[in-house]
């Protein structure tokens, strides 16, 4: 039997106790170290967060809005997209005296200069025009929709299209054609559709009706094709929906980092999937128009001599190699002129009628002007013609005399320009008149919507709808500088169809106002939609009622 030595036992117990204490001490030290490490990490993280917040606030004081590490100003833009991006841009520009630098996320393509300073616009659009083309970024972004058309092209491609279109736009034959087609569309389609809504006691989406009108008109003028979009019952036209979806998806690219939307395009998801599907409808329509015209021209030798539409003119031209333009190029021409002729006038008229509903005194002055001008006709039967329910047709010279109506439309365009923003790119290092440094490759966005909301440009009443600001002491319409009122662009890219656009809008507006009261449906939401042109997001739902003969007689006698 082994008997344990008491000394040995004591020593063993002591060693075990010491090991236990050491192990527990080591474990505690390890836990304490881990705890302090987490505390230090938290402190560093908190300090970093505070630093980021302070830096962001400093940037906000300098830039007008916070600039976050990595994300830049993207969070502010994301919030603005959920409300009204154009008002957000206007607020920032007012706080920054008309120009600010937008900083996008790191390694993104969203960095740009945003300006609403008339001095900068004149420099950009006229003085140094060659140094500020649309640029590769813009062309790459809109290429799928607009291709090499006049809206997105630069240099030789743009100059050739503009020169050809300019010659056609200023020909007497083309002007007569546009005047006749507009008169036919208004009296044979627009007014019957409006009358039908009255008979049915139904509200109508005036924006949709006007879009159909201008779509039919631009197709007849530019392509010699009548799509019959504006008819009783408002039949579904797949192209119209496809075109609107395509413009919306294209604008999405401008507020999304290039790497993101290109990845979405590669995987065919989100807005890029929508764009791809809508472009199918756009391309099918353009292809059908082109092929139909080719067949007509080949079957009738004298067709080229009798037709006066833009598509036929371009089909007769040759490119730099002496060959006929490709179907792809003709497709781009079609889509660009549809964008120019369909959306701009109809969208402007929609905002115009919405503003009239809010300012009945302006509508009364317009009606008084219309009756006064038509009352000057020399025919013996003029009174009967004036008060006829639908027979009155305004003459071109009468439309031109409607100065107050033009002022009211211009004021609507000042507040709600059809194209709210536009884009340029810097070719060589430069400097704006306001002192802003411009590096080669910098993107410049000029905010046309914001320009109508700048006190420095329009005075303290800049938010008021006030047509009188466009009239001289003699009551005649006075145009503003294209670099202060940029609804029709300016410089070499000044809108070719500006005069016709005014004529079209005045003719349509006068024809409606003379016959009907237009009342926006109560509580109908009216906000701009994010697109290449400023659609109303929910359309413009209105109720129409006919004017009484007695009311017209009062204005006629007055």
Binding-site residue numbers for heme are 495
The DSSP 8-state label assigned to residue 235 in this structure reads -
Q: What are the binding residues?
A: 495
**Distance between CA atoms of 61 and 79, rounded to whole angstroms?**
19
**Distance between CA atoms of 35 and 37, rounded to whole angstroms?**
5
Q: Are 430 and 438 in contact (CB under 8 A)?
A: yes
Q: Are 343 and 199 in contact (CB under 8 A)?
A: no
Q: How many angstroms separate the Cα of 368 from the Cα of each of 169, 191, 374, 465, 558?
A: 32, 21, 10, 19, 8
Q: First vs last Cα of the chain: how many Å apart? A: 138
Task: List the helix and strand counts (H, then E) for the chain.
Answer: 24, 9
541-546 sheet: strands from edge to edge: 204-205, 541-546, 516-520
**Which contiguous run of DSSP H or E holds residue 183?**
helix 172-185
For 448, phi and psi rounded to 5 degrees? -70, -40
DSSP 458-488: H-TTTTS--GGGGB-TTS-B-PPPTTTS-TT
**Which contiguous run of DSSP H or E holds residue 337?**
helix 327-338
**Distance between CA atoms of 182 and 504, rounded to whole angstroms?**
7
Q: How many angstroms separate the Cα of 471 from the Cα of each of 149, 209, 404?
A: 36, 30, 8
**Distance between CA atoms of 400 and 502, rounded to whole angstroms?**
9
User: Which residues of 184-253 form beta strands (DSSP E)?
Assistant: 204-205
Q: Which residues contact 8 (CB under 8 A, 6 or more apart)?
A: none
**Distance between CA atoms of 396 and 182, rounded to whole angstroms?**
11
């Amino acid at each position: 039997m082994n008997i344990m030595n008491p000394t040995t036992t004591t020593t063993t117990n002591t060693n075990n106790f010491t090991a236990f204490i050491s192990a527990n001490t080591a474990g505690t030290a390890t836990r304490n170290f881990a705890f302090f490490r987490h505390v230090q990490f938290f402190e560093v993280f908190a300090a970093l967060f505070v630093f980021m917040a302070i830096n962001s606030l400093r940037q906000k004081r300098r830039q007008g809005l916070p600039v976050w590490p990595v994300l830049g100003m993207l969070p502010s833009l994301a919030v603005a997209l959920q409300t009204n991006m154009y008002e957000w841009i206007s607020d920032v520009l007012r706080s920054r005296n008309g120009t600010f630098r937008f900083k996008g996320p790191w390694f993104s393509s969203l960095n740009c200069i945003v300006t609403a300073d008339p001095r900068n616009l004149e420099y950009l659009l006229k003085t140094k025009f060659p140094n500020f083309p649309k640029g590769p970024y813009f062309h790459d972004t809109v290429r799928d929709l607009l291709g090499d058309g006049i809206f997105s092209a630069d240099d030789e491609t743009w100059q050739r299209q503009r020169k050809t279109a300019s010659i056609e736009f200023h020909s007497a034959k083309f002007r007569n054609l546009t005047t006749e087609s507009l008169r036919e569309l208004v009296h044979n389609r627009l007014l019957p559709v409006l009358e039908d809504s009255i008979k049915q006691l139904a509200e109508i989406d005036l924006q949709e009706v006007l879009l159909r009108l201008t779509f039919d008109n631009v197709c007849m003028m530019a392509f010699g094709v009548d799509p019959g979009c504006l008819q009783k019952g408002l039949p579904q036209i797949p192209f119209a929906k496809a075109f609107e979806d395509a413009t919306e998806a294209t604008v999405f690219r401008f507020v999304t980092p290039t790497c993101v939307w290109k990845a979405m395009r590669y995987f065919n998801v989100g807005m890029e999937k929508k764009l791809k599907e809508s472009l199918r409808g756009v391309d099918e329509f353009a292809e059908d128009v082109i092929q139909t015209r080719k067949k007509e021209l080949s079957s009738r030798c004298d067709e080229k001599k009798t037709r006066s539409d833009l598509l036929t003119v371009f089909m007769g031209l040759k490119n730099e190699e002496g060959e006929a333009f490709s179907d792809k190029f003709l497709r781009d021409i079609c889509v660009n002129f549809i964008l120019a002729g369909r959306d701009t006038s109809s969208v402007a008229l929609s905002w115009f009628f919405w503003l009239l509903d809010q300012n009945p005194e302006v509508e009364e002055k317009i009606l008084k002007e219309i009756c006064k001008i038509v009352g000057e006709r020399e025919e013996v039967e003029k009174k009967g013609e004036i008060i006829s329910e639908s027979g009155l047709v305004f003459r071109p010279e009468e439309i031109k005399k409607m100065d107050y109506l033009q002022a009211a439309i211009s004021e609507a365009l000042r507040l709600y320009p059809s194209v709210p923003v536009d884009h340029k790119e810097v070719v060589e290092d430069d400097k704006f008149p306001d002192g802003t440094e411009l590096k080669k490759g910098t993107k410049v966005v000029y905010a046309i919507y914001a320009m109508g909301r700048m006190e420095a440009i329009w005075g303290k009443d800049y938010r008021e709808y006030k047509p009188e600001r466009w009239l001289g002491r003699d009551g005649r319409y006075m145009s503003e500088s294209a670099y202060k009122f940029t609804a029709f662009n300016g410089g070499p890219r000044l809108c070719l169809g500006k005069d016709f656009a005014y004529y079209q809008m005045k003719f349509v507006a006068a024809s409606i106002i003379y016959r009907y009261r237009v009342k926006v449906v109560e509580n109908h939401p009216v906000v701009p939609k994010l697109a290449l042109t400023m659609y109303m997001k929910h359309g413009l739902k209105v109720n129409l009622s006919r004017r009484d003969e007695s009311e017209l007689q009062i204005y006629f006698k007055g």
